[in-house]
């Protein structure tokens, strides 16, 4: 009997060391700080995803910031998180202006970090070397996605009178430059406009409202800025009213900013605008698809949707770095989240359910482990890149999670 108990004890100790009965080794527990500028619905869902699903399975504990107002508050948060035992950071606050300070603070504490905007960090002359990589928009992929979307919505038939709200393209925005470029390339090809790459670039980077026309069936006006933040949009509205524009393109996730403006000008000038926008899951986009205007049509015609739980994929990059598997990070660049076009309220309704419950999480624990070399010894940079690109697409999540 004593020998049997001893044997059972040995078996239990062995299973405990490996963390599960199938022999999979479990990593030591780590704490990770998560810094956020705004507590949006996306980040509320991310916290639930981390705390109630991924964290317990991966032996990871998270320390969250409140909504951070400035870089000083962020650096204090990092200090406090380090004191509380954090050895990694998920950065959803930083940008070009803060990159150097955040990188230096991580260097002070030897803290690995992943960010939503890697290029500005990689450009630092004295970077710490602690950056795992970034999750965000890949210029080539976004341009191609917008081009393919544009080929469908601007089909080359009849006339096209299009206003392109380029938002921050004139400031070389990593999102708005490729998205505007892709849309114009689609129009250029479908309507046989003959614009050169240099001509398209000049229009995309216009710092003031700029009109282009082929003198017959196509007119485009390029408008930089964001309502209430940049630009005189009443002046822009007057331009729209005086012209014959009826299609509006928004080159970033800014439709909620334009909602009231578009509604107002539809009523004032009696024109039914067809609106297409880049987007994320939010209440404004839902209203755009579900609310009908006075012409009985949805306020939004279509969106190019970025989905895929940026925090979840950033966590995969960070854990690879923290576990010492640098080779799968590919030089610590940007791993792109995919964009998918949506054309109806029904399609949006499905996409909006992503990450809302455990049944609809972007990826399962087992899928997540495929992206971390600690669990998947065959992981390479190329495979990790394709995992992020594939798993993050809304269409992929809807199919894999059987969202109805």
What token pair was written down for 215? 């003198």
**CB-based contacts of 326: which residues, under 8 Å, 6+ apart?**
320
Higher pLDDT, 300 or 68: 300
Paired strand residues for 30: 60
Residues forming CATH 3.40.50.2300 domain(s) in the chain: 23-129+308-340+374-400, 139-306
What token pair was written down for 4? 């049997």
Higher pLDDT, 227 or 336: 336
Q: How far is CA 208 from CA 132, 149, 170, 177, in A?
A: 38, 26, 9, 15
The answer to whether 288 and 298 have CB atoms below 8 angstroms apart is: yes
- Which helix (H) or strand (E) segment is 388 a member of? helix 381-391
Task: Give CA–CA dist 293/300, Å, rounded.
Answer: 10
The sheet that has 274-279: what strands, in order across it?
210-213, 218-224, 160-167, 247-250, 274-279, 302-306, 339-342
Q: Per residue in 372-390, pLDDT tens?
A: 999 999 999 999 999 999 9
> Cα dihedral sign for 152, 400, 24, 110?
positive
Q: Per residue in 228-275, pLDDT tens?
A: 554 455 656 666 667 678 999 999 988 988 888 788 888 888 889 999
To which CATH superfamily is domain 23-129+308-340+374-400 assigned? Answer: Response regulator (3.40.50.2300)
Say whether domain 139-306 belongs to CATH 3.90.440.10: no
**pLDDT, the chain, mean:** 87
Task: Give CA–CA dist 338/318, Å, rounded.
Answer: 20
């Amino acid at each position: 009997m004593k020998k049997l108990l001893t044997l059972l004890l040995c078996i239990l100790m062995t299973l405990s060391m490996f963390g599960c009965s199938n022999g999979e080794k479990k990593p030591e527990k780590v704490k990770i700080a998560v810094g956020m500028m705004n507590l949006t619905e996306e980040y509320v869902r991310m916290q639930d995803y981390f705390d109630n699903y991924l964290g317990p399975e991966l032996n990871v504990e998270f320390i969250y910031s409140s909504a951070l107002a400035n870089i000083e508050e962020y650096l204090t948060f990092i200090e406090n998180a380090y004191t509380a035992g954090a050895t990694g950071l998920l950065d959803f606050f930083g940008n070009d202006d803060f990159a150097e300070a955040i990188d230096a603070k991580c260097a002070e504490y030897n803290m690995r970090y992943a960010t939503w905007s890697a290029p500005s960090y990689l450009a630092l002359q004295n970077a710490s070397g602690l950056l795992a990589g970034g999750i965000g928009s890949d210029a080539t992929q976004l341009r191609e996605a917008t081009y393919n979307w544009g080929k469908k919505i601007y089909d080359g038939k009849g006339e096209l009178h299009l206003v392109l709200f380029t938002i921050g393209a004139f400031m070389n925005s990593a999102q708005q430059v490729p998205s505007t470029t892709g849309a114009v390339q689609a129009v250029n090809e479908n309507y046989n406009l003959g614009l050169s790459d240099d001509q398209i670039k000049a229009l995309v980077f216009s710092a003031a409202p700029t009109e282009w026309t082929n003198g017959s069936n196509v007119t485009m006006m390029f408008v930089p800025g964001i309502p209430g933040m940049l630009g005189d949009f009443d002046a822009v509205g007057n331009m729209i009213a005086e012209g014959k524009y009826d299609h509006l393109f928004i080159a970033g996730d800014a439709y909620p900013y334009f909602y009231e403006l578009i509604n107002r000008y539809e009523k004032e000038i009696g024109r039914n605008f067809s609106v297409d926008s880049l987007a994320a899951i939010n209440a404004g986009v839902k209203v755009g698809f579900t609310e009908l205007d006075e012409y009985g049509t949805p306020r939004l015609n279509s969106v190019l949707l970025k989905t895929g739980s940026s925090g979840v994929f950033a966590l995969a990059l960070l854990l690879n770095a923290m576990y010492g598997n640098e080779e799968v990070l590919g030089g610590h660049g940007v791993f792109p989240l995919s964009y998918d076009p949506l054309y109806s309220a029904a399609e949006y309704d499905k996409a909006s359910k992503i990450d809302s419950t455990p049944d609809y999480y972007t990826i399962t624990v087992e899928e997540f482990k495929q992206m971390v070399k600690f669990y998947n010894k065959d992981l390479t940079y190329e495979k990790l890149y394709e995992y992020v690109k594939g798993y993050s697409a809304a269409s992929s999540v809807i199919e894999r999670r059987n969202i109805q």
